[in-house]
């Protein structure tokens, strides 16, 4: 029974190991808001982790800022705006669609379309078979005769 309990503890530990209990807000509703906001903010050191999932010093600082802003009475949108004003849209795990980020949002579709166009061109060329060779000019025929190939 003890090995099973140890495995369960080890499996459950990573889910909440990053947030230090000293960081948590005393009000459970405010803490839930902070966690939700934190899941949407990117750790700028880890890049593909939220600040809630990262144990980097910068992520810890961002979690502290989020909690301070919530405790000061800011709304969720005001907290996110406060962070993005300082770190830019890159701090958001889901950046907004605007003139700066449109390339990021459109790139997957553009690559898919380009790949499809290349595949269609390849298949058309393959179906057409080998291209007919142009007839040899009189100079080329003479050269072949000299080489003994004709």
Cβ atoms of residues 25 and 34 within 8 Å: yes
Q: Please check whether residue 113 lies inside any domain of the structure.
A: yes
Structural domain including 118 reads 104-147
Domain identity same for 71 and 38? yes
Phi then psi dihedrals of residue 50, to 5 deg: -75, 165
CA distances for 88 relative to 6, 60, 70, 101, angstroms = 42, 18, 20, 12
**How many independent structural domains does the chain possess?**
2
**CB count, 10 Å around CB of 93?**
14
Answer whether residue 139 shows pLDDT above 80. Answer: yes
Selected residue with higher pLDDT from 20 and 91: 91
Cβ atoms of residues 144 and 136 within 8 Å: yes
Domain identity same for 49 and 86? yes
pTM above 0.75, yes or no: no
Q: Please check whether residue 110 lies inside any domain of the structure.
A: yes
pLDDT in tens, 27-47: 889 899 999 999 999 998 887
How much helix, strand and coil, in percent to the nearest 5, is found in the chain? Answer: 65, 5, 35
Q: Residue 50, SS3?
A: strand
């Amino acid at each position: 029974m003890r090995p099973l309990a140890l495995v369960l503890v080890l499996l459950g530990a990573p889910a909440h190991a990053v947030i230090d209990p000293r960081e948590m807000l005393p009000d459970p509703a405010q803490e839930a808001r902070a966690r939700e906001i934190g899941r949407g903010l990117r750790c700028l050191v880890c890049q593909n982790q939220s600040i809630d999932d990262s144990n980097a010093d910068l992520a810890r600082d961002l979690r502290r800022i989020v909690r301070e802003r919530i405790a000061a009475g800011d709304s969720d949108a005001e907290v996110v705006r406060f962070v993005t004003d300082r770190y830019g849209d890159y701090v958001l795990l889901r950046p907004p669609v605007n003139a700066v980020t449109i390339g990021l949002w459109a790139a997957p579709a553009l690559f898919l379309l380009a790949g499809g166009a290349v595949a269609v061109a390849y298949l058309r060329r393959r179906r057409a078979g080998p291209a007919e060779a142009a007839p040899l000019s009189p100079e080329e025929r003479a050269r072949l005769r000299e080489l003994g190939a004709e």
